[in-house]
Every structure is written in C-alpha cells, then in structure tokens.
Structure 1
Amino acid sequence: MPADYHTHTPLCRHAEGAPEAYIDAAIAAGLTEYGVSDHAPARPEPFDDWRMSEAELPDYLEWIDRARQHAGDRIPVRAGLECDWLPGCEEWIADLATRHEWDYLIGSVHYLDDWDFDNPKWIGRWADEDLEVAWTRYWRTYAAMAASGLFDILGHPDLIKKFSPGPSGDLDRFHEPAIDAIAASGCAIELNTAGRHKPCTEAYPSPRFLELAREAGIPLVISSDAHTPAEVARDFPAAVEIAKAAGYTETLLFERRKRSVEAL
C-alpha cells in the first residue's frame, strides 16, 4: 500500500491512541511509509480547541520519536504538520518550518474567516449560507494557499463539500482556477479517504477534480486522515482504484522535504 502521511495524535484533542498502536496498524496494512501530521499550532493562542499549542510542540516530537522507536526498521516514520492557511499566516508557517527537520508540510483550508466550516459544531450554519458565495471564497482561498509555495502537500482539496452539496451546475468553474494555481505551485494533492465516512460519502477530492488534477500533471499522495489507529490506511485499496481510474500510475514519498516517486 502507498504511504499514509496524513494522520493525527491525541494532542489535537479529537484523536486517540498511542503511537505504538498507530505503527502496528500501519505495518498490518502493509504501508510503504507512515507519516504523522497533526494540526499545527496557530496564532494568536488559544486559537481553537482542536489543535496542539505551541508549547506542546516538544510533546509532539516526543510522540513521533516513540513511534519511530516502536517501528524500528520495520517501516519508515516521517514527521510532518498539517498547517492551517489563515489570513496573514505566512510568517508563522515559515517559522514553524524551522522548528524541526520536517519531512513534509501539509497545507489545509478549514476556515473561512472565523468559520471552521468542517467542524460539526457549526453544521447548522450551512442552512443559512449561500453555497455559491461559500464555494467561491473557499476555492479562492485554496488557490492562494497553493500559490504561497509553503507546503509540500495540499490537504483534502474539496473539503467544502463535507456537510453540504455544492452549488448547482458544473463545478469545474470552481475547480479549474484552483487546478491552475496548484499546478503552477508544483505541490502535490492528497486523495483523502476520510470523506467516504462523512456526510458527503465521497473521498476528497471528487473523481472529476482528480481527473483534472491528473491532466494538469499535479502529483498525488493517498491519505487516511486517521484520528484512531483503526483508521490508518482506511479504504486504501478503493483509493488506489480511484486514483488509477483518474489516470494516476504513481504516488510520492517525502523525506526531509524532498520527494521521490512510488508506483501505484
């Protein structure tokens, strides 16, 4: 199975499980590599209730060290962060990039202004939102994140669909400008299987977006977004088939922010 680089730890306050249990699950799944990429701190603190604090970064690195010790030579364990793209965050992300010899950084959009739109806490707000406006804002934000050049992987591209269907009509009008920005950046995207277990019942991104990404030459990783050991590599066989159907024949591996290619 491909590497699984998007996984979490209890430090994000909505995941559970010891590092040893995650490693055991990764090995049982036959993963090429296992990566830890919990929600990075954000400023000003306290920012929200679903990420580690800046003071907990040493605890995070200790968690990764425990995972590596348990893995031994059975599976490579990579160190990453999932960083939120927020207004004015560039300097902070650049600072975080120096805090450790990371293998990769994932950039994600979870916020539109002060609304963490994928948080079940605010699911009722969708009833009052203009979907055309929300999707326009989301995809413009996603394109700006790609253009920043700060990240190696861009997370769950169409997360905006999690709790609510998209606007009517051809969604390529949202996807194509974002695809152009991602392709120009050289970033990889992830095929994130967590969406299959959310109200949208579909991996992030949609097959159509994935097809456009492949046509634009955008590289791919496959991720579970695991928040428990049982979710590591969840639905990876299906994800491999989805990727192949879109025309992908390979995924990427990362070490110290350098990439290599692995055949699907």
Structure 2
Amino acid sequence: MRIDYHMHFEKGSYDENWVEGFFTAARKRGLAEIGISEHSHTFPEFKPLYYQDLILDDSFIGSFQQQWLKTNKFKYTLDEYFAFMHKLQQHHDVKIGIEVCNFQDQAAVRDILKDYDFDYIIGSVHFLHGWAYDSSEIKAEWDRIPLERIYEWYAEEVEKLAAAGLYDVLGHPFNIRLFRYLPDFDVTPYLMRVVKALKKANMAVDVNTGTYYRYPIHEISPYPDFMKLAAQYDLPIITTSDAHKPEDCGNYNQMAVDYAREFGYTGTLRFSHRKRSFVSFD
C-alpha cells in the first residue's frame, strides 16, 4: 500500500477545484491514500507562538521573518480546516493531519490541539534559536554559526518535541543538510540523541522526498546514516513528498519506498484518529 501523509494546501486555497489536483496526482502515482498536514502557520490559533519564538528585531533575519509572518499566513482557522477536510472526505479517502513547528511553549500547543480529532500530528524542527534555517533568503546565517552548534541545537529541539508527547511523526529528520553544509566532525552522538528521543516517544520517521526535489542537497531526508540507526532501533516510518503544489503529491514515492527497503523496511504506518497500523508497501 502506498501512502503520502505530508503535504500542504498553502500555495492555493480551500477550493475543491484547486485541491482536486492533489488527488489526480495521487491516482497517477498509485497512492492508495493521502493525508494533508497543513503547517501550523496556516492557523491564527498558533500566531502568538510564532511571535514569541522567532527573531523579529531589526536585523537582516528579523526583518525577513517579520515579512514572512505577514505573507500568506494565518488565513484559515482550525475549524475552517476541519470543515473543508470533512467536505473532501465525502468524495476522497484523505486523512486530516497537521505539521506543527518546534515551539518552545508545548503546553500552549497541547491546549490548541486538544479539541481537534486529527488522524496524525507531525512535529517538525523549522527554527533554531528563532532562525528559520530552511529559508534560502536568509541562508547567509549558515556561514556565521559553527555547524557543530547547529547540530547541537537541532538535537535539542527534537528532544523537546519528543518529550512533549504530542506527536506521531518527526518531519524530515536532519534536513539541516538541505543547503549542503556538511559536517567534518562525528555526528553520531547527535543522530543517537534523536533516535533515542523518538524511540522513547513512540514517534515515527518521515522519509521525505521534499529535500530531494526542492533543495540543493538533492537527497531524501533522513539521510542514510540516520536511517541505519532508525532501522536498528525499529523506528517505524511514513513515506512522503512534502508537496506544496498539487502536481507534487506523491512525488518520487517509488524512490522513497526503494530507499526505505535498502534499510530493511517493508511497509509504512497508516493512521486514523491517532491510531496506527502497519501496512506493507505491496
């Protein structure tokens, strides 16, 4: 069974005609089921948390991130999202998910999520000490911060996400490689910290092709060194495209499946109302 649970409607709108393209692409690529995992920045309920956590001063980074928060953000409430998804479910087999950023106030996140019947919740590291590290517009910051510190920060953020006990999946693990800043030091301690945190929290790994076709690293996340450890610790996986446009739904799904098989994986998780089951790829 082929599934893709990581994609977003944010480049368009909650319009049935526009989102139909996701289902068309899913059928074309042989997907049995998809799930939408809207970014938390879609929803005004999370707005205060972004303004608490991000660098928003007059610096180069702060100025960019101020504008980022004002562009195509916070445009639908969670109630509107669920109403639209329930409408889609009348005609399509689609799950309701969300991708939540690594906010520092996890108690506030819990309070936001508690009243909604998600099928699954992805937690993803998108910010390191208030810096949106995956934004190409502020990529220059990578040259200022020692890479070993970035790995330390990343491991810390995953540990905090996992400890919150709110999430089913870690989104695109170790996508800090996305701009090809590659370490010349032993990263094994950082990989182990993340693997152990996920194991303790019973979280799955997002085998995500988005970094393959959307970023310079041109590799699936997580990269092989992490995948080896994930397999050793029996961490389950999902295979995803991280599609932001309809035509990218299920993009390189076969590559993700073949990649996962290299590490001994034979199937993926399927979610429904936060309950998980294992399904084989074929």
SS at match of 1:9: coil
The total of aligned residue pairs comes to 256
- The equivalent residue for 1:10 is 10
In structure 2, the CA distance between the partners of 1:51 and 1:137, relative to structure 1 (3 Å rule), is farther
1:131 corresponds to which letter in structure 2? L
Are 1:146 and 2:167 matched, yes or no?
no
How far residue 11 of structure 1 moved from its aligned partner, in angstroms, is 6.7
How far residue 54 of structure 1 moved from its aligned partner, in angstroms, is 7.6
Q: Percent of pairs identical after alignment?
A: 31
State whether residues 19 and 63 of structure 1, in contact with CA within 8 Å, keep that contact through their aligned partners in structure 2: no
Unaligned runs of 5+ in 1: none
Unaligned runs of 5+ in 2: 52-68
SS at match of 1:78: strand
How far residue 167 of structure 1 moved from its aligned partner, in angstroms, is 2.0
- The equivalent residue for 1:65 is 86
Instruction: Give the whole-Å Cα distance in 1 for the aligned partners of 2:120 and 2:217.
Output: 28
For 1:1-264, list aligned pairs within 5 A.
Answer: 2-10=2-10, 18-40=18-40, 41=43, 42-44=46-48, 47=51, 48-49=69-70, 52-53=73-74, 56-71=77-92, 76-88=93-105, 90-197=106-213, 198-264=215-281
SS at match of 1:38: strand
In structure 2, the CA distance between the partners of 1:130 and 1:3, relative to structure 1 (3 Å rule), is same
Instruction: Give the whole-Å Cα distance in 2 for the aligned partners of 1:168 and 1:230.
Output: 37
In structure 2, the CA distance between the partners of 1:156 and 1:46, relative to structure 1 (3 Å rule), is closer
In structure 2, the CA distance between the partners of 1:49 and 1:117, relative to structure 1 (3 Å rule), is farther
State whether residues 22 and 246 of structure 2, in contact with CA within 8 Å, keep that contact through their aligned partners in structure 1: yes
String of CA shifts for 1:134-193, please: whole Å, max 9, x gaps: 111111211221222110111001121112423213321210111111111111111000
In structure 2, the CA distance between the partners of 1:101 and 1:50, relative to structure 1 (3 Å rule), is farther
Instruction: Give the whole-Å Cα distance in 1 for the aligned partners of 2:5 and 2:191.
Output: 24
String of CA shifts for 1:22-80, please: whole Å, max 9, x gaps: 12221222212110101114241774246742853233223323432342xxxx21001
1:68 corresponds to which letter in structure 2? Q
String of CA shifts for 1:185-242, please: whole Å, max 9, x gaps: 1111110001112111111100121111010011100011000111111111111111
In structure 2, the CA distance between the partners of 1:12 and 1:155, relative to structure 1 (3 Å rule), is farther
Cα RMSD of the aligned pairs, angstroms, is: 2.1
String of CA shifts for 1:116-147, please: whole Å, max 9, x gaps: 10112211211212111111111121122122
State whether residues 79 and 103 of structure 1, in contact with CA within 8 Å, keep that contact through their aligned partners in structure 2: yes
SS at match of 1:259: strand
The farther-off stretch of 34-43 and 179-188 is 34-43
SS at match of 1:160: helix
In structure 2, the CA distance between the partners of 1:114 and 1:262, relative to structure 1 (3 Å rule), is same
The farther-off stretch of 151-160 and 168-177 is 168-177
The farther-off stretch of 143-152 and 253-262 is 143-152
State whether residues 156 and 191 of structure 1, in contact with CA within 8 Å, keep that contact through their aligned partners in structure 2: yes
SS at match of 2:4: coil
State whether residues 11 and 245 of structure 2, in contact with CA within 8 Å, keep that contact through their aligned partners in structure 1: no
Instruction: Give the whole-Å Cα distance in 2 for the aligned partners of 1:151 and 1:49.
Output: 27
String of CA shifts for 1:98-130, please: whole Å, max 9, x gaps: 242110000001001220101122112112121
Instruction: Give the whole-Å Cα distance in 1 for the aligned partners of 2:184 and 2:72.
Output: 34
How far residue 19 of structure 1 moved from its aligned partner, in angstroms, is 1.8
Q: Structure 2-normalised TM-score?
A: 0.84
- The equivalent residue for 2:60 is none
